[in-house]
Amino acid sequence: MTFDYDLFVIGAGPGGLAAAKKAASYGARVAVAEKETIGGTCVNRGCVPKKLIVYAADFALRDRIVHNYGWNECQRHFDWTIFMKSVYQHVEHINYSYCEQLQKAGIDLIWERATFVDPHTVDLDGRKVTADKVLIAVGGKPNKPNIPGIEYAITSREMFHLPYLPKRLVIIGGGYIGTEFSSMMHALGCEVTVIEVDGMILSGFDDDIRSCVQQSLSKRGIRFILNSTVQEITLCDDSLLVTTAGKSQETVTADTILVATGYTPNTKNLGLEKAGVELGEGGAIKVNEYYCTTQKNIFAVGDCIGRVQLTPVAKAEGIACVNTVFGNKPQKLNYDYIPSAVFSRPEAASVGMTEAKAREKLGESVECYCTNFQTLLYALTPENEPTTVKLVVDSASGQVLGAHMVGEHAADIIQSLGVAIRKGITKEDLEDTIGIHPTAAEEFLS
């Protein structure tokens, strides 16, 4: 049978784009279908605009200490509308660049929603297109819990389209998205309250890191309501009332409510049943170690398979899948030692095992080295902004199992350390390495 394409990709996010370009480099005839904007969540509603807001907030935070460095204080005003216009322009530039890359690679970009007709055929608004192989890379979508009045709340998707900064912001969920937004929106002048079901924010990170970030944000004035859930949201005149249940039973007034309770695979209404593609827990597409679904010619990567919901992981999965299918180079992805970061202020980052996970696996042979100190930046100020670095080590072999940090440039430092840890570096290897002074990173070498 002759097909229209060798590979048809559904979704132009990081995983889909990486796979499409790699397949084209092998000489495959490739098409990508996208129903919204090229680049996916990361470029348009996630990593990129969020990081730009972090930078904007940094100016406000630095204003608190500039006079300690000899700068005269002056009055400045932050204009959310002007700033977001610049953000949109940058995002549009990235979108245009992606379109150019696809065109240069000879990849057809189709601006339509694709749904399966059968394993080799997709429907594009009434037009049928066939392909030998199909890759599903449709990403995820924000959760919205079933709470009375939840329709008054927004998700991270809508945060970048707020017409103005809210005076009072309530965030439901203390994961990395909720923590990042709490940090930057507070720095920009919002009164922020975070409601978290756990006893600490940032579930999944090392407990020392969680505690350090939470304490620092609390000290800045961000309020945390812990071990509690939202029972109801009600509209009252020109504000919203959030009623909590659990350890704290109270009502909080808000102008805007952000729901940051995680993402679920965006797998509904794709016609997967017509293609013989099965779903697993939480609506994630079932795949094997080579990203093949229950239908042998259909593959899936990224957030829709529910493994590790990070942009670099989706890219790596897309490339690994294509190397296997079109490059005749079977490739499995190693999910150990994937670094992750929280772009709050203070910044946090981790790679490898947390202390709890290491003790669960190795018991008493786990040794931890944790240091708290203040960097030179704050030496001239009354601010107390501690930096924390932590190593989790197997005392039997000396191998470093995990590295964790809270403080300036944590993400960059941990990302570099991740290469060494992945290669089996030991605590002694770090101690034998000469660092750069004065830096925060040198503390990992002591």
Please identify every residue annotated as catalytic: 437
**Is residue 282 a known part of a binding site?**
no
Is 177 annotated as contributing to ligand binding? Answer: yes
118 known member of a binding site: no
327 labelled as ligand-binding? no
Q: Answer yes or no: is 199 a known binding residue.
A: no
173 annotated binding-site participant: yes
Was 178 annotated as part of a binding site? yes
Q: Which of 349, 310, 172 is nearest to 254 (CA)?
A: 172
Query: Is there a binding annotation on residue 398?
Result: no
Say how many C-beta atoms besides its own lie within 10 A of residue 128's C-beta: 11
Place of tokens 């795949």: 287
Answer yes or no: is 361 a known binding residue: no
Residue 390 annotated as binding?
no
The answer to whether 51 is annotated as binding is yes
Residues 108/109/114/116 CA torsion (nearest 10 deg): 20
How far lies 111's CA from each of 11, 32, 59, 194, 302, in Å? 10, 8, 38, 38, 20
User: Do the annotations mark residue 418 as ligand-binding?
Assistant: no
Annotated binding site: 51, 173-180, 196, 262, 303
- What residues form the annotated binding site for FAD? 51, 303
* Binding site feature residues for NAD(+): 173-180, 196, 262
